[in-house]
Structure 1
């Protein structure tokens, strides 16, 4: 324990890396299952979700899993007293299981803060690439409920179940992040060979028994999650290099290193999962086809609407995992990201990495509270909305209600200032009003807004009492009833 503590103290700096940007496919396959179609529509209306990357790696404040991957990339760098020897490092990393004890874990507190912020669904990392399970799997002892892990004696040791139950009580849809690759499994990284990169370290065609054992291991773990953790709405599968070889796109940089066929039989997994969880959304990230029910651009906001369901997963800080003194995005930046994503028809999945003691940083709670205060005024202009051309024009964003009877026009603050200062007039493109149209500024609903339409353009006259002064924070919204 002293050596591990020293490691944490001696790290030169945290792995505050920006995650890899994932290329996402344009070949979307519409689900044939009507229950899945209905769930997609329900999920799309929610707009704002919470992501959580959490595991033993939080004790060192390092990047999740990737420091044990033997690749020479910016996000895989090892630092500290074990860094010069890969195998010594990996052994020490896996030994973190014996010191993981998040005694401040309180999922009800997380759910309350997320609900107050206006979030509507949660995706939790039940297992990342390192293979450490944050649920009570029967397939391995490398898990939080193992007697090797101090937290196993806690009544809330099965943290995945506790998180799902707490968030469901507050009305959230729940989703299980699950890594298809497993760098702890001897049937993925076979100890007979050293790991070479992120991929399986043997040829599955030469060793079908080992690969079939890994397929069953994956299937059995997912079935555990689908049967022992209540209602699950999303199965969010990461590690897109575990895929049929025929689906590899050699034009995509990170896919060029995939040499072997790593088909884990998604048809079998999805059929089983939906037999337990009807209507389940399956998100087989970056593997286009029937098992990628929505797409997940990472740390990215598309410039225009995409013609299929999608969600941008973006970190609140610089890192997906907990890093001491991480730099958190401002509330202004987060709300602008949310609105730009929603104006393109997507959802924002905002990530927070819990600490080794099992709580968020004070800064994260502060951001959630400030977002929540804004959402209480503007929620109707976020949830269940649809894109409206021209989507974005300068500091103006356009949205509309699903029935197209109401338009929402957002005026954003300057990126470096929280307050929105309105000019004397606002010009809107592509919006023609009539004498029966009504306009309300959600941030000052008692003020009367006059307008003038010429052709397909409208000019809003800002009341003199609101001109050239702070009207609201981050973004203000005009509600236009056509």
Structure 2
């Protein structure tokens, strides 16, 4: 993940690449069943958290020697290796004493979130779980929080969210910039890729394969039921699966970064039957759904997908981060769901283990909206034309109802008549405004449907969006 928002050029490149790389449909019936359930959940929580939260800098990328906007070091001018030493020393002061995953889970449930994805390890290689493969971890003796009985924050977080009935996703970075088998200290790193030539040192790469396998095995065997394995760092892939897109991310010649995904996936699903595997941006058999980052596709996609997006401006904690309005967050959710996707909304915990108060307030407001309109979101699927003007459409996957969701601007009043085209209800079809008891009158008005909203309904003080059920 990167702090900056993708440029228009990069978004266009993503869309073009997705079109040229066909989606490979899963064949495991348990995975297909879980994917269908996942498409019912619609709304999830993501959390980027690590030692970097103490500085309020972008997660991991400041130690990557690439001249990119998100890799800049703060303060500027510090020599690279001095900066890396200071960055890695952040582990010595990491002490999130206000860590309270039960509070996070309760807020997520109240907001209507059905699943979560937590960063067990980002690219910098700092482990937020009690791995036996590395000493660079939150449970290491040099980390102050290691003395806390809740030191294995991944386990505590997973357990707290499971207790609230929320499904569990494990984010795991395939590259590891702390591991000697990836960034070998004998050679200086030049970019995000291995610092050595894999073809010249195959045993070192084999060591990295084993390291990765064992870490994922720990997560799949020691942390309870896991529904999603969410793998980041898409440049780590076999040479045969390199694309123009993946090559554009690298400053050095592409290498065969094959970590043996068939073996990893087989092991993971042996321990977690039906596990959804998301080898993101590696378009092949281990990318069960796709993950457009910080953007919403222009139209529905013909495969399972999820927009991962920040609530504020950064994936990781920033002290003065500016959060999106509730109106924008609700509209994003409706837009994504109407196009057949899921919305994975990121919040970055701070160095003390707490969220900004503003994050809780946003989730409370979203939850209030979902309490009224959730049936137009959960368990729905795309229906043409998906949107007409400021009205989005969804339908229950069993076809029992269609919903017209009218998007309201901040501070706007509900109009006397809501019009939309593209949906043709049968004569005598029943329409109801969710949250209001009573039928709505409607009529065909040329090519459009005109729905009259009673005065009593308009006085309710609706905000953000309203949903009309059409049966």
Query: Into which bin does the TM-score normalised by the smaller protein fall?
Result: over 0.9
1:434 aligns to 2:430 (yes or no)? no
Q: Is the 8 A contact 2:414 2:462 kept in 1?
A: no
Give 1:316's aligned residue: 311
Equivalent position to 1:335, from 324, 330, 339: 330
1:429-474 deviation per Cα after TM superposition (whole angstroms, max 9, x unaligned): 132233441111113233x41111368742212224456x674110
Farther off after superposition, 122-131 or 428-437? 428-437
Give 1:424's aligned residue: 416
Q: CA deviation at 1:421?
A: 2.2
Q: CA deviation at 1:413?
A: 1.1
Q: Is the 8 A contact 1:249 1:255 kept in 2?
A: no
Structure 2 CA distance for partners of 1:53 and 1:475, relative to 1, 3 Å: same
Give 2:271's aligned residue: 276
1:299-327 deviation per Cα after TM superposition (whole angstroms, max 9, x unaligned): 01011110000000000000000000101
Q: Is the 8 A contact 2:234 2:246 kept in 1?
A: no
> Distance in 2 between the 1:412 and 1:134 partners?
39
Structure 2 CA distance for partners of 1:19 and 1:320, relative to 1, 3 Å: farther
Equivalent position to 1:473, from 425, 447, 463: 463
1:219 aligns to 2:213 (yes or no)? yes
Q: Is the 8 A contact 2:193 2:250 kept in 1?
A: no
Give 1:232's aligned residue: 226
> Distance in 1 between the 2:418 and 2:53 partners?
47
Q: CA deviation at 1:394?
A: 1.8
Farther off after superposition, 279-288 or 20-29? 20-29
Equivalent position to 2:138, from 119, 122, 144: 144
Equivalent residue runs for 1:6-405 within 5 Å:
17-18=4-5, 23=14, 25-26=18-19, 27-80=22-75, 83-251=77-245, 254-255=248-249, 257=251, 259-405=254-400
> Distance in 1 between the 2:412 and 2:30 partners?
42
> Distance in 2 between the 1:434 and 1:138 partners?
62
Q: Is the 8 A contact 2:170 2:229 kept in 1?
A: yes
> Distance in 1 between the 2:350 and 2:311 partners?
14
Q: Is the 8 A contact 1:431 1:456 kept in 2?
A: no
> Distance in 2 between the 1:359 and 1:127 partners?
19
Structure 2 CA distance for partners of 1:359 and 1:19, relative to 1, 3 Å: farther
> Distance in 2 between the 1:333 and 1:275 partners?
41
> Distance in 2 between the 1:74 and 1:216 partners?
33
Could you say what secondary structure the match of 2:384 adopts? Answer: strand
Could you say what secondary structure the match of 2:345 adopts? Answer: strand
1:18-46 deviation per Cα after TM superposition (whole angstroms, max 9, x unaligned): 36867363411111100000000011100
TM-score by structure 2 length? 0.94
Could you say what secondary structure the match of 1:472 adopts? Answer: coil
Q: CA deviation at 1:253?
A: 6.5
Kindly report the root-mean-square deviation, in angstroms, between the aligned alpha carbons of the 2 structures: 1.8
Q: Is the 8 A contact 1:343 1:391 kept in 2?
A: yes
Could you say what secondary structure the match of 2:78 adopts? Answer: coil
Unaligned ranges ≥5, structure 2: none
Q: Is the 8 A contact 1:174 1:234 kept in 2?
A: yes
> Distance in 2 between the 1:435 and 1:200 partners?
64
Q: CA deviation at 1:239?
A: 0.2
> Distance in 2 between the 1:256 and 1:150 partners?
36
1:445 aligns to 2:431 (yes or no)? no
1:320-362 deviation per Cα after TM superposition (whole angstroms, max 9, x unaligned): 0000010110111100000000000000000000000001000
Give 1:460's aligned residue: 451
> Distance in 2 between the 1:98 and 1:75 partners?
24
Could you say what secondary structure the match of 1:25 adopts? Answer: helix
Structure 2 CA distance for partners of 1:16 and 1:177, relative to 1, 3 Å: closer
> Distance in 2 between the 1:191 and 1:162 partners?
33
Q: CA deviation at 1:218?
A: 0.4
1:105-142 deviation per Cα after TM superposition (whole angstroms, max 9, x unaligned): 01000000000000000000000000000000000100
Q: CA deviation at 1:252?
A: 5.5
Q: Is the 8 A contact 1:100 1:151 kept in 2?
A: yes
Give 1:8's aligned residue: none
Aligned length: 461
